[in-house]
Amino acid sequence: MIDFKHQVAEALKNNIDGMEINDIIGMIEIPPNSEMGDFAFPCFKLAKTMRKAPNLIAADIAENMEKIAIFEKVESKGGYVNFFMDKKAVAESVLNEVNDKGEKYGGSDIGGGKKVIVEYSSPNIAKPFHIGHIRSTVIGNAIYKIYNFLGYDTVRINHLGDYGTQFGKMIVAYRKWGRKEDVEKEPIRTLLGLYVKFHEEAEAHPELEDEAREVFRLLESGSAEEVELWKWFREESLKEFTRVYDMLGISFDSYAGESFYSDKMDRITDMMTEKGLLQKSEGAEIVDLSEYDMSPALIRKKDGSTLYITRDIAAAVYRKEHYNFDKNIYVVAAQQNLHFQQWFKIIELMGFDWAEQCVHVNFGLVSLDDGTMSTRKGKVVFLEDVLNRAVEKTAEIIRDKNFGKDDLDEISKQVGIGAVVFNELSNNRIKDYVFSWDKVLNFEGETGPYVQYTHARACSVLRNAKVELSKNVNFEYLTGESAYELIKLIARFPESVVDAAEKYEPSIVTRHIVDVAQGFNKFYHDEHIIVENEEEQKAKLLLVDAARQTLENGLKLLGMAAPERM
């Protein structure tokens, strides 16, 4: 596809002395409406060096570009140079590119095979896979897909929370109040009940906390009974987690959790000691980070047990040595900002120059209508329940609207689960939000079902036309307002994918495919597509297919299905 922005920049460079092409490209804007052109260049920054008013600079530049073929016209207005591209040339370049690349449209090889690790989801073993985990899970999955789409060699890691003092609590609770048959019947709900009971009892009997710490110490030291129980809890939990991942269509390359690094931490603490980083503090070992305006990082407790931060450092060192990553991305809630700042700094102080390749992609919290979720109090919404209810609700809507009964179960899954995923990815990831059934299962407006239905509508148009697609069309038929606006939106899809990768922000793709869906529906409303004029119909069908392909590719990047019928 012709890089029209680059062509605008090249034309401008010939009229502006002393500016590099990349600087010019960075200044070029997309006007808020088509009446102001396809691209706009502000001249305000040039006023000082050119010693002339911005509107006069813009007028001079516009006048010198009147005879350049790629421009339909060039105007100056209010200190801006507005560029109107040759619509036919744009249509031909964009639609041929989509037709040639198909499911790869929007992707590229800019990653050049560089190794990128994305750690996401990472639920805690023996605890609920609740709605709070949806954010890390779907944001991480979308980031993985986006980077993969751009040619990076991407590795998906589910760093399971399968270690720590909470397992001491769980084992104590199971021994006191648990039954094997209950765990086998409903592992997570039963273990959650035991975890909640432990904390209720510990309020009246604080000695339970000491007992739990001792049990975890035995687990860390390899005590057979504790290890056997821990393995059982892990296996039963993974069965339930896998069921939810299957519903979401998500898989991982590695499930190496915290326990995987239990035999690798002595080496890490030895390295810290060699670097003079570890200090004794009330029997524990810390790294003093006050010089960097951070609180001390607790590396090892006074009883010798390790913490999250120790295991995260061990994991990062292992990953660098094992994968030799170019980027190591952690999709973890903003609550952990300090934790990541601390251990990133420690990695740097240990002498690892790859510390800057570690990136914390944070996100806002999910809360319930009546407050924040708490596993200790049993106050959670199970993610599996959310997904199942979304599927049931979708089936009801399809039946009520008489969309069709064919493949009802499959379409209900695709659209219902897609609605939940899209809801998570539709806003900037850093925003906190309140979980609401009404909002998640709203099928009106700028939602996942709206985009999926638009894709299905485009598929329906192509089926009903019963015409073989061809690139040999008359692109003059695609110069009308709604057709051209849709083409420009399709053209900007690859740019939105790159932008999403650079900012670790899947919502950029989400918002863009909403725009494409709206653009397609306006085109569908404004234009007759199945017409007697065969040449006109062929051209319009090529545009329909390009919109369909763009929506499909965008939905797949978000981890959603693109139904052909709804």
DSSP 258: G
169 is catalytic: no
Could you count the other beta carbons within 10 Å of the beta carbon of residue 540? 25
Q: Number of helices and strands (H, E) in the chain?
A: 22, 13
Q: How far is CA 89 from the centre of its chain?
A: 34
Q: Quick one: tokens of 366?
A: 């999910």
6 is catalytic: no
Cα(308)–Cα(443) distance, integer angstroms: 40
Could you count the other beta carbons within 10 Å of the beta carbon of residue 218? 16
> Could you tell me what percentage of the chain is helix, strand and coil, using 3-state DSSP and rounding each to the nearest 5?
60, 10, 30
171 dihedral zone (left: phi>0; alpha: psi -120 to 50; beta): alpha
Q: How far is CA 237 from the centre of its chain?
A: 25
Which one from 5, 87, 133, 538 is the annotated catalytic residue? 133
**Residue spans of beta strands (DSSP E) within 98-242:** 115-119, 153-157
Nearest alpha-carbon partner for 511 in 405, 411, 425? 425
Residue type, 105: Y
Cα(566)–Cα(415) distance, integer angstroms: 9
Q: Quick one: tokens of 66?
A: 């009147």
Q: Quick one: tokens of 167?
A: 């397992």
Which one from 13, 48, 104, 127 is the annotated catalytic residue? 127
Cα end-to-end distance, the chain, whole Å: 32
Q: Quick one: tokens of 194?
A: 């035991």
87 is catalytic: no
Q: Quick one: tokens of 141?
A: 């999955």
Nearest alpha-carbon partner for 12 in 84, 83, 73? 83
What contacts 18, CB < 8 A, 6 or more positions away?
49
What contacts 499, CB < 8 A, 6 or more positions away?
505, 508
Cα(49)–Cα(57) distance, integer angstroms: 11
What contacts 418, CB < 8 A, 6 or more positions away?
448, 449, 452, 555, 560, 561
331 phi, psi to nearest 5 deg: -100, 95
Which one from 130, 159, 327, 360 is the annotated catalytic residue? 130
Q: Which residues are catalytic?
A: 127, 130, 133
